[in-house]
Structure 1
Amino acid sequence: MTTPFALRHFKLFSLITLIVTGLFLNASVQAKTDINRTSEVPLNEYGQALATHNRVLGTWALYQGDETIFKQTWLPSEDGSSIVIADDKQMHQYKIGSISKTFTAVLTFKMIEAGKLSLDTPLSQYYPKITNAKNITIGHMLNHHSGIANYTDSPDFMSYYQSPQTEEQMVTRIEALPAAFAPGEKAAYSNSNYLLLGYILEQVSGQSYADLLNKHIVKPLALQHTYFGTDSHGAEIKSYQWHNDEDQWQSIDPWSLSVAGAAGAIISSSDDLNRFFRGLFNDQLLSKEHFEKMISLTDGFGYGIFKTKVKNKDKEIIGYWHNGGIEGFASHAIYFPDIDVTTVVLSNGLNKLTVDDLNSALIDAYLGHSLDNKMAALDIKADELKPYTGYFQSDTSPLDIEVMLMEDQLMAQATGQSAFPLTPDGERRFTFQPAGIEMLFTEDMNSFTLNQGEHKNVYQRNDAAKPKAAEIPLETLQQYTGVYATEGFPLDIKVFIENGQLMAQATGQGAFLLTVQSDTEFSFSPANITMVFNPETNSMQFTQMSRSFEMRKKE
């Protein structure tokens, strides 16, 4: 399960919801273990290989207690064409996106301890116009059981996300959203919950969120590089996207951090995140009662935190985590209290890689597992991936899966879902770490086993079953290619042909396959997108849900 506070105009969905399971352990009791430094060499070699292949910018780090076992930072070269490894003594800060929610949850419990809030306090005391406000509690908001729709999924989000917003503007937008479900009925991740919690914290405390953060977390833990970001001092912290056609890293236009607020605007470093998670689990921030409440799960959701487990031989190690994303930043931090180990990945640029891939490498190296398969996967060429492509069906799953190549990246797409990238991770083994998906192909590549959590489905190749799309001549498709833009829409949309099929890619986003509806109309159903092309005027009508824009080709 991914929970990023990320720009997801073209929303990605995992094939099957990741099952977060695990045994409850007394997290505040940590085993005394010797410092394990054997992982430094393989991680350094893998990190060097990632730099050589232009795969990632950012910092990844492994800690045991307050000791740094390994830390490495990748920076873009001056001309953006390559990556350099930074001096590991330098400090680097990043926008951490939704890991901010763990901080906000701690601050909310601090207000509960001060008697200014309770888990049963109704939202109606602060924002009565929000749908179901009388029945939504602070507890519902903390563990995403409120039913408040996610404002970053709203079609109008793209019209304002880069412009400074006031509390009044953001609350008015959330008030206008229909409820996703009844409070307490189920869990669904929503940035709206934590944006509102930040505003409520300021009201009940009489202090700004930044001051609350400093008073209750930064100063008690002596954090050196953590603060609540604003547009004025966050602008120099940049993110990047790798452009294959130009062979370089290019900066991405920033969000206004006023749009992210308490849901995703904190800026921090890997060292500070290690101190934060260890401080939380060492009773330095909350009372034992409220700490245990915070890490308790309902429907897989804790109060600003999640729980996972990794296998080490015949044992399971429990970890507590949050991840995030904003602009081109992606982050992931996990703390394993039983062994007092923290993994942190803070990226400001990814190319055919995820922070989950990097996090799994940190864990594997610490546990003594080889990274050879991950190293070998970096050298796999598109010609070697092509035999895996095809249309697959399973007798035990209602979803068919198409495996395809997009810009030399192997992708999988289930019926009615968005395509997701597959990372080579061993002989005929591919993974999608954010959803815990593993696909194991047979030697003839005519079938694969898909493993996710406790679910296992065998898929057989059946290319004849692939739904037939309307046949459109290549010369007709070529008339639609180009970069489209309009003043009313903040992103450019690049339309191009890949393997004979029309593709689209918005600024800072992944490419997606367009489905033919007619000679001029194409769609991407997972995000409710329709594009109608008019080659005579070099224009394209872009529609998502109820919003429509006429976009024209750039010269």
Structure 2
Amino acid sequence: MRPFLPAMLCTVMLATPAWAQPSPAMIAPDADSAMAAAIDPKGSGAVVLIARGDTVLYRKARGMAEVELGVPLSPDQLFRIASITKSFTGALLVQMGARGEVSLDAPAVRYLPDVPLDPRITLRQLLSHTAGVSETDTVAQPPFGNGEVPIAEQVRRIAARPLAFEPGTAQRYSNAGYILLAAVIEKVTGQSWDEAMRTRLLVPLGLANTAYDRPDDIVPGRTSGYSSDKGVLRNAAPFNVSIPKTAGSLRSTAADLLRWMRALSQGRVVGTAGFAEMSKPALASVGVQERYGLGLYRWQIRGQDAIGHTGQINGFTSALFYLPAEDATVVVLANSDSFDAQTLARRMAAIVIGKPYPLQRASAVPAGSLAPLAGSYGSDPATSRTIAVQDGGLVISRPNRSGTPAMLGSDGAIRFMPDELSYFLPVRDAHGAVIRLDYFARGEGPALPLNRQP
């Protein structure tokens, strides 16, 4: 991943004109540019795959699989896919529901009678992150080493936590909730969670390169994982990948994830009605950018629906998008947990749609243009920001947090990184004074207004 550029840099728009149904030859230049802007060829890297229907339009790797040995990535490399695993978990539970093995609206305690869970928590709520299951242990977690972490111990600890909120009243991402679902799968099927997933999903669909990434396994073709610390590439911190289980313990390839999304979206896993159920947002009150169903998100990209999941785990990030209106799939797999796979995937999706996001190029901006931006914006501590000018550049901070360098673009927008989609757009009064910032999450509206504070 490329390091942050100095905050005094500005941006210049670089993009080809919009088109309808771009061909592979039309997609390649913009896709190549997006990869080049995001990935240092001598550092950790990423694999990108774009397909329309079953036809691959673009497939490329950039960066290193083994930085220390100088081994470049290949498009067939194996990656830990982290939370994309949840799409498999959601499909397996929906499939089990259709077969009458479970009821998604039944209390989880029906299937885990020996676990002291709140009886209001349903399987559907666990799948949709609306159960209120807390991510925070009340006591210190013991060291697990690199061996298999017993699911019974994890379930016991999760059940002992107080609820984060009343079941069904809110939505908060919970890996712990998905670990409880692993226990349900094992109880109902009589198989380990990974064996149930293998026999019911992976083998029938021919996903030969997708599997539980067991902690001690030697896996030919699996890339090493990295992390970036203030722009310095390092080996990722050790992590026992057996801990997340159905929340994030699978490995896969870009080609297998294309096959998976094709099977899922075409109704060959849970039927078309099941896929619609998985991708239907559980709570209407959740913002348009973070709507979650049963193991799948539903986003908006350039005015179109995008269905899929992202993932982040020590050493790896990932993104899997399906665009129903285009019948297109985008896969991004990266071997750095500091890499923004979702932003690159959104860029690739916009290219397929025919409305690519402009890329940015750095150039100098007069320091005098930064001072009028300094100030505090927004009154809600959850969204407020403070802008300061330091060392000739912008620094943006949130309450009780350290500041982050930012840059002012030639389009007048403020971004944290040159290739980032989210931005703040200063709004000025008739005299040119900045009166508020409009925040566009991931480059899409509607804007969140942050009024300037006295």
TM range (shorter): 0.7 to 0.9
Provide the secondary structure at the position in 1 that maps to 2:310. Answer: strand
Q: For 2:101 and 2:349, locate their aligned partners in 1 and report how far apart those are by CA, in whole Å.
A: 40
Q: For 1:382 and 1:156, locate their aligned partners in 2 and report how far apart those are by CA, in whole Å.
A: 49
Is 1:341 aligned with 2:341? no
The structure 2 residue matched to 1:303, chosen from 291, 294, 300, is 294
Provide the secondary structure at the position in 1 that maps to 2:188. Answer: helix
Q: Which amino acid in structure 2 is aligned with residue 63 of structure 1? A: A
Q: For 2:252 and 2:67, locate their aligned partners in 1 and report how far apart those are by CA, in whole Å.
A: 26
Structure 1 stretch displaced more, 323-332 or 288-297: 288-297
Q: For 1:445 and 1:343, locate their aligned partners in 2 and report how far apart those are by CA, in whole Å.
A: 42
- Identity value in percent: 21
Instruction: Tell me the matched-pair count.
Output: 417
Shift of 1:440: 1.9
Which residue of 1 is the match for residue 165 of structure 2? Answer: 181
User: Do the aligned residues in 2 keep the contact of 1:333 with 1:344 (CA within 8 Å)?
Assistant: yes
Structure 1 stretch displaced more, 55-64 or 179-188: 55-64
Q: For 1:61 and 1:98, locate their aligned partners in 2 and report how far apart those are by CA, in whole Å.
A: 18
Q: For 1:407 and 1:147, locate their aligned partners in 2 and report how far apart those are by CA, in whole Å.
A: 44
The structure 2 residue matched to 1:317, chosen from 299, 304, 309, is 304
Shift of 1:322: 1.0
The structure 2 residue matched to 1:429, chosen from 392, 413, 430, is 413
Structure 2: 5+ residue stretches without partners: 1-19, 284-290
Which residue of 2 is the match for residue 211 of structure 1? Answer: 195
Shift of 1:148: 1.3
Q: Which amino acid in structure 2 is aligned with residue 123 of structure 1? A: A
The structure 2 residue matched to 1:229, chosen from 197, 207, 213, is 213
User: Do the aligned residues in 1 keep the contact of 2:367 with 2:393 (CA within 8 Å)?
Assistant: no
Which residue of 1 is the match for residue 121 of structure 2? Answer: 136
Q: For 1:405 and 1:178, locate their aligned partners in 2 and report how far apart those are by CA, in whole Å.
A: 43
Shift of 1:114: 2.4
Q: For 1:358 and 1:60, locate their aligned partners in 2 and report how far apart those are by CA, in whole Å.
A: 9
Shift of 1:243: 4.8
Which residue of 1 is the match for residue 224 of structure 2? Answer: 238
Structure 1: 5+ residue stretches without partners: 1-31, 466-555
Q: Which amino acid in structure 2 is aligned with residue 342 of structure 1? A: T
User: Do the aligned residues in 1 keep the contact of 2:155 with 2:183 (CA within 8 Å)?
Assistant: no
User: Do the aligned residues in 2 keep the contact of 1:150 with 1:192 (CA within 8 Å)?
Assistant: yes
The structure 2 residue matched to 1:413, chosen from 381, 397, 404, is 397
The structure 2 residue matched to 1:332, chosen from 312, 315, 319, is 319
Q: For 1:407 and 1:347, locate their aligned partners in 2 and report how far apart those are by CA, in whole Å.
A: 33
1:243–1:122 Cα change, 3 Å: closer
Q: Deviations over 1:432-467 (max 9, x none)?
A: 79998421247989564323442432554x7xx7xx
Is 1:69 aligned with 2:68? no
Q: For 2:83 and 2:346, locate their aligned partners in 1 and report how far apart those are by CA, in whole Å.
A: 19
Which residue of 1 is the match for residue 88 of structure 2? Answer: 103
Structure 1 stretch displaced more, 418-427 or 249-258: 418-427
Is 1:280 aligned with 2:235? no
Query: What root-mean-square deviation, in Å, do the aligned CA atoms of Structure 1 and Structure 2 show?
Result: 3.9
Q: For 2:173 and 2:378, locate their aligned partners in 1 and report how far apart those are by CA, in whole Å.
A: 31
Q: Deviations over 1:42-75 (max 9, x none)?
A: 2213323444486752212211112221222233
Provide the secondary structure at the position in 1 that maps to 2:269. Answer: coil
Q: Which amino acid in structure 1 is aligned with residue 202 of structure 2? A: V
Structure 1 stretch displaced more, 216-225 or 261-270: 216-225
The structure 1 residue matched to 2:340, chosen from 354, 378, 381, is 354
Which structure has more RCO (C-alpha within 8 Å, separation ≥ 6)? Answer: 2
User: Do the aligned residues in 1 keep the contact of 2:96 with 2:102 (CA within 8 Å)?
Assistant: yes
Shift of 1:92: 0.8
Q: For 1:383 and 1:154, locate their aligned partners in 2 and report how far apart those are by CA, in whole Å.
A: 51
Q: For 1:163 and 1:409, locate their aligned partners in 2 and report how far apart those are by CA, in whole Å.
A: 47
Q: Which amino acid in structure 2 is aligned with residue 107 of structure 1? A: L
Provide the secondary structure at the position in 2 that maps to 1:182. Answer: coil
Provide the secondary structure at the position in 2 that maps to 1:68. Answer: strand
User: Do the aligned residues in 2 keep the contact of 1:382 with 1:409 (CA within 8 Å)?
Assistant: no
Q: For 1:55 and 1:318, locate their aligned partners in 2 and report how far apart those are by CA, in whole Å.
A: 33
User: Do the aligned residues in 2 keep the contact of 1:397 with 1:457 (CA within 8 Å)?
Assistant: no
Q: Which amino acid in structure 2 is aligned with residue 439 of structure 1? A: F
User: Do the aligned residues in 2 keep the contact of 1:386 with 1:405 (CA within 8 Å)?
Assistant: no
Q: Deviations over 1:127-173 (max 9, x none)?
A: 4565653211111111112111125x767358558664211211121
The structure 2 residue matched to 1:451, chosen from 440, 449, 453, is 440
Shift of 1:406: 10
TM-score by length of 1: 0.65
Q: For 1:64 and 1:426, locate their aligned partners in 2 and report how far apart those are by CA, in whole Å.
A: 34
